[in-house]
Amino acid sequence: MPAHPLARLLRASTAMATGLSLLAVSGCFSGSGAPAADDRLAVAMLLPPRSALNPFTDDAFKLSRLGIAETLVQLDEPGDPHPMLAARWERVDATTWEFTLRDDVVFHDGTPMTTDTVVTALTAATRAEPKPRILDGVEWEIQAVGRDTVVIRSNSDDPLLPQRLSSPQLSILAPDAYDGQAVDPTGRGTGPFELTALSGGDSATLDRNDDYWNGTASASGIDVSFVPDGTARAAALRTGEADIVEAIPPAQTSLLQEGTFREVPMPRTNTLYLNTRESSPLADPGLRAAVREAIDPAPLVADIYESRADRAAGLLGPALPWSAGRPEPRFTTDAADPDDVPLTLGTFSDRAELPEVAATLEQQLEAAGFDVQLEIREYSQIEADALDGAFDLFILSRATVLDSGDPVAYLVSDFSCDGGFAISGLCDDEVDTLLADAAQEADLDRRRTLVLEAERAILRTGAAVPMLHERVIQGNAPGVTGALFDPRERLLVGLDTSAAG
C-alpha cells in the first residue's frame, strides 16, 4: 500500500531539515454533535509500530490513543478506576474479582462482545510471550459466569487489579484477532475509530465506527503517519499538513505559532540505566557509584531541553506530586577509580533529545576517567539488545505510570528480579521485598510510602541514575478542537476531536 501524502511530505521535510485542557475524560468519551460529512484528521505520531500494532506490546498505546481499542476499565485524572467496557465490578475476596460487562458493545467486525470474547482476549494476554508488562509476576484464572459476568482469580492478593485492566495492553479485541502469538487488531476493536489499513511503519488508515456504543465521532476518519524525526513533525504542524502532532522537540517550539502547542509535566523520566550483570564492568558497585557522581543533569535540562523539563530528584517526578515526600537515598558505596574502564553507552534516535543527551554524558563520563563508546539506533532496532544486556549504560525516556496509573508496575518491570523490562538486570532482595509489599497494599497512603521506600532502595543499588522529568509537548493546528491532552499518553483523539474544514 502506498504511504499517505502526509507521510511522503514528512519524509521530504526530514531530508530538507537535515541539509487542551488536562486529560478531558467524562464517562468514557464525551458526547458529540452531528459529524461532518468529510472531516478527516491528519495525525503525526512519534514511533512507528514495532509489532504491527499487536496490543501485547507498547503498540497498544497507539490503539488507545487513536480510539481503536478499549479496555474493561479506564482511569480518571487522579488515577482512580472507572467503567469502560465493564459497567461495574466487585471484589469478592482477596484474590477474586467479578466484572459485569456492558451489554451494548459490538466489535468492528460485527461480533457482539460477550463474556466468552472477553475471556478469549484476556487469556491470550496471559499466554503471550513475553507477557504484557502489566502482568509481570501475575497469574490469572479467567472464567465466564452467566451472560454478563467475568470472574478473575489472581494467584495473590492484588488490590489494584481493576487498575491493571485499564492498561491498553489488555485491550479487548474480537476473537478472530488472536491467532497464536500473532494478534491483528485490523477491523476488530470496539472504539470510535476502526483500523482499516496499516502500511508497515509508515502510515495507518482509520475510519469512523458509526456503530460505536458511546456515540458518533465528529471526524469521519484519521490518517496517521509515523514520523520518528522531530523536526519533520514540527514542520508538518507549521505547514498545516498535520492537525495533531505528538512529541514536539523543545528546540522546535520557538519556530511554532503561539497557541499551537501545549506542555505539561509528564510521568516520564529520562533515566540512565546501569547494567549490573556480571558481564558488565558495572557489576562493580564502586564503578556504578563513579558513574552516578560523574553525571550532571543541569546542562541537559538547560541546554538540550531548553528548560522545558524538570531536574530529577528520583525516578518519580512532579506529575506525581506525592513523590516530593521521598526519603533521601543515602548512598553508602564509595566511588571506584574509573581508570579508563571501557563502557558502551546506548540510546535511540526516535526522541530527538536523546542522542544529544548521550553525547553530553559521554563527555561527562570521559572527563571522570571512563572510556565511552556510543551506539545510537532507532528504538525498534536497539530495544532487544538493551534488554539482553548488550550495553553497559542505556538512556531511556521511560513512562513511570504508563501501564496501570500506579508506579508499582513500572518499578517491578524495570527493577525486580523477574521484571520483563529489566535493562539494568537488577536482582536485589530488599528491592523485591519492598515492591512485593507495595503491590499488596490496598491503603493508598501506605502504598505510596512503600513505593518511595522501594525507589530509595533501587537508587541505592546504583542500577539507575534519574536525570530529568520530561514535559509532553503536543501540537494542535489552528482550528483543531477536542483533542485530548493526556499526560499518561493513553488518549489523543476522542469523539469530539475535529479540525477546521
pLDDT of the residue at 399: 87
What is the identity of the amino acid at 315? L
The H or E element that residue 99 is part of is strand 96-101
C-alpha–C-alpha distance, residues 261 and 479, integer Å: 12
Segments in the chain below pLDDT 50? 1-37
Name beta bridge partners: 245: 44, 475
> Domains of the chain (ranges plus CATH)?
1-68+191-260+477-501 (3.40.190.10), 70-182 (3.40.190.10), 265-471 (3.10.105.10)
Closest C-alpha among 164, 4, 148 to residue 71: 164
- Beta pairing, strands 342-348 & 371-377: parallel
Q: What is the CA radius of gyration of the chain?
A: 22
Closest C-alpha among 114, 51, 126, 128 to residue 86: 114
Task: Determine the 3-state secondary structure of 230 from DSSP.
Answer: helix
Strands (E), 312-379: 342-348, 371-377
Asked if 236 and 13 count as a contact pair (C-beta separation under 8 A), the reply is: yes
The H or E element that residue 90 is part of is strand 86-93
C-alpha–C-alpha distance, residues 232 and 249, integer Å: 10
Q: Which residue has the cell 479506564?
A: 74
Backbone angles phi, psi at 462, to 5 degrees: 80, 15
C-alpha–C-alpha distance, residues 55 and 256, integer Å: 34
Asked if 185 and 51 count as a contact pair (C-beta separation under 8 A), the reply is: no
Q: What is the pLDDT of residues 210-250, one digit of tens each?
A: 999 999 999 999 999 999 999 999 999 999 999 999 999 88
pTM: 0.72
Handedness of CA 399, 470, 330, 448 (dihedral sign): negative
CA dihedral 22, 28, 34, 40 (to 10 degrees): 70
Residue 466, all three cell numbers: 534519574
CA dihedral 351, 353, 355, 359 (to 10 degrees): -160
Q: What is the pLDDT of residues 311-332, one digit of tens each?
A: 999 999 988 888 988 988 888 8
C-alpha–C-alpha distance, residues 154 and 407, integer Å: 20
Q: Which residue has the cell 479467567?
A: 142
Asked if 397 and 270 count as a contact pair (C-beta separation under 8 A), the reply is: yes
Distances in Å between the Cα of 396 and the Cα atoms of 211, 347, 422, 434 are 40, 7, 12, 24
